[in-house]
Amino acid sequence: MDPRVTDVPEKSRYEILAGDDGTETAGFVEYHLSEGEIAFLHTETAPRYGGRGLGGLLARGALDDARARGLRVLPYCPFVRGWIGKHPEYADLVPEGRRARFGL
């Protein structure tokens, strides 16, 4: 089964589900949502899933959802910030006046 990203608002995080049956949490990115902004705080991938590109799929899924919801993104998490740096088509999600603070 292909990995899928899902928002889990009761835990304030997006999770990427993988495994044979697609129900195992392979990683997550924690966030704080407030007043039209989503601050990404911390990303983790389970060691057994490391090196499979799941972190990138997780970042893309979370950012795509933020875009669809019209949220401004604050990438405090170094992983998400670095991923946006490598995918500049997502930089517009970060408010223009705050991009320099994040090195974008």
pLDDT higher than 90, residue 63: yes
102 Cβ contact partners less than 8 Å away, ≥ 6 residues apart: 74, 75, 81, 84, 94
3-state secondary structure of 35: coil
Do the beta carbons of residue 66 and residue 73 sit within 8 Å?
A: yes
Q: Which domains does the chain have, with CATH numbers?
A: 4-102 (3.40.630.30)
pLDDT higher than 90, residue 57: yes
pLDDT higher than 90, residue 21: no
Return the pLDDT at 76: 98
In angstroms, the CA 48 to CA 26 distance is 8
